[in-house]
Amino acid sequence: MDPLSDVLSLLRPRSYVSAGFDAGGDWSIQFSSQHQQIKCYAVISGECWLSVEGVATPVCLRTGDCFVLPSGRPFRLASDMKLPSIDAGTIFPPAREGGVVSYNGGGDFLLVGSRFAVHGTHAGILLAMLPPIVHIRRESEQAALRWSVERMMQELRERKPGGILIVQHLAHMMLVQALRLHQEEDATTGQGWLFALADRQIGMAIAAMHEDPSHRWTLQALAERACMSRSAFASKFKEAVRVSPLEYLTRWRMLLAADRLETSVEPISSIAQEMGYESESAFCTAFKRNMGCSPRQYGRSRRPVSPEMVTEG
């Protein structure tokens, strides 16, 4: 798989609420922090403002726009940012599949999409690789998502047998397409892991580490994959990804190992070899340094993860 598919596969996003929001008149709604969730929505009609905690400038959302919020940070949607906000919990009923929530009689603004629960004790590390707001606003890019959005609205309205499963698959398509399009749109100006993938040189090095994480990669070997000098590669990689290449490799290996510990009964010695470590002790040291506990402690503490049903849209 490619690196983006790798990361999303480890997160195992599960769409557990797909619905719409239809607002009328003036309104402002505050959504609380929701950890280990990704929200992916499309504006069907009208416009509003989106403000996410930690992001300085609000974003204007217009008809056709899509947006993804991967961080779980508190956010606000409003027809006018000057209006006082009400809590989303007072508007949205307990989480349920399908349907459209109406506010102020509706008719002026319609939003449709899904929220995803993500899996894993260290999902936060993976979500931190993604930008706090993914905003798709170019008409050519919106066209790539339009079919999924229109079909989702049809399924939500008609509520035919099997419709919720179709909506969940469409929501997954929207999520992946939105991340892909955002990466392409801001490839030359964006910062962080997602945009580093779009850089031809850095992307080749990241892909190499994901293709064969157990390989004994050196800085020189990775620089050669990127067709760069060792010093130039190390500098550019750290500037783009915010960690050194070998730190990234170790972190990725530990995330893969954590996933094995959660989902398999493999002995630690086997997982260590799969991650490229000749000795179990060296692997355990690296795991504890990166994940905060030993592999055995991590394995004992793992629990089946089932998403909490929340009360906000």
For the segment 47-56, what is each residue's pLDDT rounded down to a tens digit?
999 999 988 8
The pLDDT of residue 276 is 93
Which amino acid appears at position 4 of this protein?
L
Residue pair 246/219 in contact (Cβ under 8 Å)? The answer is yes
Q: Can you give the pTM of this predicted structure?
A: 0.71
In the chain, the percentage of residues whose pLDDT exceeds 70 is: 86
Q: Tell me the CA distances in angstroms from 217 to 28, 213, 222, 275, one per residue in order.
A: 51, 8, 7, 12
pLDDT > 60? residue 306: no
Mean pLDDT, the chain, rounded, equals: 83
How far apart CA 72 and CA 279 sit, in angstroms, is: 38
> How large is the average pLDDT for residues 32-46?
83
| Phi and psi based region of residue 61 (left: phi greater than 0; alpha: psi -120 to 50; beta: remaining) | beta
DSSP letter at 93 equals P
| Strand pairing class (37-45; 66-69) | antiparallel
Q: How confident is the model at residue 129 (pLDDT cuts 50, 70, 90)?
A: confident
More confident of the two residues 167 and 18: 167
Please provide the CATH number assigned to the domain covering 199-301: 1.10.10.60
How far apart CA 19 and CA 82 sit, in angstroms, is: 27
> How large is the average pLDDT for residues 170-187?
73
The pLDDT of residue 100 is 83
Domain boundaries defined on the chain: 3-186, 199-301
Q: What are the start-end ranges of the H helices in 41-187?
A: 123-127, 139-158, 163-185
Bridge partners for 15 per DSSP: 116
More confident of the two residues 129 and 237: 237
Q: Kindly report, residue by residue over 12-23, the tens digit of the pLDDT.
A: 777 666 678 999
In three-state secondary structure terms, 149 is helix
CATH top-level class for 3-186?
Answer: mainly beta
More confident of the two residues 173 and 226: 226
